[in-house]
Chain A
Amino acid sequence: MPTITYAQALNDALREEMKIDPRVFLMGEDIGHHGGIFRVTKDLFDEFGADRVRDTPISESSFVGLGIGAAMAGMRPVVELLFMDFALVAADQIVNQAAKLRYMSGGMVSVPIVIRAQQGGGRGNGAQHSQSFESWLAQVPGLIVVAPSTPADAKGLLKSSIRAGNPVVFIEHKLLYNTKGEVPEDDYAIPIGKAEIKRDGRDLTIVSYSRTLLLALEAAEILSQKGIEAEVIDLRTIEPLDMDTILESIRGTGRLLVVHEAHSNCGLGAEIITRVGEQAPDRLIGPARRLGAKHVPIPVAEPLENAVLPQTDDIVRAVEAMF
């Protein structure tokens, strides 16, 4: 299997789906001539032309809205938001429109749109370019939310998202684009709603996704040297949530830590831990824990940003406190 970057894996997924399906087209800021600020749409403009790789004005609300209209009229738009933070500019179209049009029509229309965006911090981009919104998005019935952590998952999940026929918010992370991994060459897709155990372990379960999944794996290696073997689950899909994989894992480990870069307050960690409490309260031998961003906006200076966002060391310390 070739080793490629996360950005290249996404680029390959887009190219392959555009070749297979003439309904697929792309819209977004600077995605055409420029190829996207993170090069995800590199060369696609030359290959597919200006009709199918459309540079938009800086008008998130309307180009997401146009994507929704085109989707209802038989197309398969993949719309890129330059930063996830700009989803709030298009919030009406994502939350009130894309997520609800099918339901409000009693199933008469469908909205097969994929909204891609990179989120998260770690580069000093500041409070309006570093947020993580998966908990907000997962709270909206009618949206599928995915957040792959590896190049292979990114490619396979983007292909599934384009084929899903439903509105999907596809979450990338700005610090994942240059990470590398092996990606199968054949046409494959990763099913939406299936988590994956990325590391086996007997002592506790760490649930994470997107970039913090990589930090969790780093932490697991450090912990291993200290005699603690962590099982690391990569959710891959945020909504619908694969609780089965989590519940099965904690049957063996008895301990659970959820790690995400989004703010802890009212976040996915709270949701997962609540569901464990509801569905399998007797499987835990100690209190479940969560680790997320602390409750302030994301600052720029490195020591400040590192103090707010969960780091590998924070994961190690959180785990050690559980034993």
Chain B
Amino acid sequence: MPLTTERLQDAYRQMLVIRKFEEAIRNLYQAGKIRGSFHPCVGQEATAVGGCWALRPDDYMTCTYRGHGQAIAKGLSVRAAMAEMLGKVTGCSKGKGGSMHFTDPSVGLLGANAIVAAGVPHAAGAALASQLQKKDTVALAFFGEGAVNQGVFLESLNLAVIWKLPLILVCENNLYSEMTPSHETTSVVETHKRASSFGFKSIQIDGNDIETVYDAVEQAATRARDGGGPTYIEAMTYRLWGHMMGDPEVYRTKKEVVKARENEPILRLGRQLLKLGCEDADLSRLAEEAEAIITDALQFAESSPLPEPADAFTDVFI
């Protein structure tokens, strides 16, 4: 079922929460309050929200270090995410995981991963578990087109097809593998063609249009639940910020980024909502609500305590 206008407004707010989350992290990073690296997902909010909202809460999801938006869209608490960025004990991983490892199994989030394709077999394994347990849950793995040249990705494509797993692979093709244009490093850069050569049902979609993403993932999830096997969705999108903080972005022109901004997903959904009868005031209200969620999360995270040194020695084993 397509998203209603009301749900699209919720989605607009959710996408703004993700955008503002990343903006807040950038500010904190520049203020020296974030340890480690930060890989923003700005410009890729439609895949996150459209993809996750087409799943059920008990469906599984894995993603990569560019997965803040996906984790939040799947249901990770924004407070817990913000606290994790600041290394606080109230963070989703109590300060042990940081930016690249958001995890919350209670919302089906099995984990973001710092190895670009490593979460793909994990999602496939969760899909296998659903199959063995005779449940109708499905698993979705988000990854970038930079992941399609890791061996484990190709191996997992094969296994997903031969075992007909209830798996959805969503490739966010944002054109750049870290700091190199993907067409320079990838033999078949339209990655959905690779997947179809493995026997996947495989499509390429406009990943900056949330309704398109939602519909594609919903259809794939239905198919997977019905025993139809895995689907590969290549969602074309664009990374508006660099690979990470400090990326000089020598691989692209400013002009290219300016042009891409005209097609970015939040702007587009705003235009769509106006067409559907919403008013500018509605959009402003949604933006304020998103801002309030971030302000609250920041306050929560800043006022939370740091972990104790002794906490470093827990949570290795059950």
Q: A63-B155, A66-B121, A66-B128 are in contact. List 13 more A-B contacts (CB 8 A).
A: A61-B121, A62-B159, A65-B122, A66-B125, A69-B125, A75-B129, A101-B111, A103-B316, A104-B111, A108-B105, A109-B110, A110-B318, A142-B317
Q: Which residues of B line the A interface, CB within 8 A?
A: 60, 62, 91-97, 101, 103-105, 110-111, 113-115, 118, 120-133, 139, 151-152, 155-156, 158-159, 162-163, 314-318
> Does B125 lie within 8 Å of A109, measured CB to CB?
no
Query: How far is the CB of B232 from the nearest CB of chain A, in Å?
Result: 16
Within 8 A of B (CB), among A259-294: none
- Is A165 in the interface zone, CB < 8 Å from B? yes
Q: Which of A28-36, A89-97, A201-209 contacts B (4 or more CB under 8 A)?
A: A89-97
- Is A74 in the interface zone, CB < 8 Å from B? yes
> Does A104 lie within 8 Å of B93, measured CB to CB?
yes
> Does A69 lie within 8 Å of B126, measured CB to CB?
yes
Q: Residue among B133, B159, B314 with the most chain A CB within 10 A?
A: B159
Name B's interface SS: mixed
Which residues from chain B contact A75 at a C-beta distance below 8 Å? 128-129, 132-133
A144 to B121, CA, bound (A): 22
Q: Which of A12-20, A51-59, A211-219 contacts B (4 or more CB under 8 A)?
A: A51-59
What mask results when residues 170 to 204 of chain A are scored 1 for a CB within 8 Å of chain B, else 0? 00000000000000000000000000000000000
Which residues from chain A contact B124 at a C-beta distance below 8 Å? 62, 65-66, 69
> Does A68 lie within 8 Å of B316, measured CB to CB?
no
User: Given A66-B124, A68-B125, A69-B128, does the pair A141, B316 have CB atoms closer than 8 Å?
Assistant: yes
Q: How large is the interface on A (under 10, 10 to 19, 20 to 34, 35 or more residues)?
A: 35 or more
- Is A67 in the interface zone, CB < 8 Å from B? yes
Which residues from chain A contact B92 at a C-beta distance below 8 Å? 105-106, 108
> Does A61 lie within 8 Å of B125, measured CB to CB?
no
Q: Residue among A56, A72, A102, A142 with the most chain B CB within 10 A?
A: A72
Of A72, A92, A104, which contacts B96 at CB under 8 A?
A: A104
User: Given A72-B105, A73-B125, A102-B318, does the pair A66, B156 have CB atoms closer than 8 Å?
Assistant: yes
Q: Residue among A25, A61, A112 with the most chain B CB within 10 A?
A: A61
- Is A2 in the interface zone, CB < 8 Å from B? no
Within 8 A of B (CB), among A67-83: 67-75, 77
> Does A56 lie within 8 Å of B103, measured CB to CB?
no
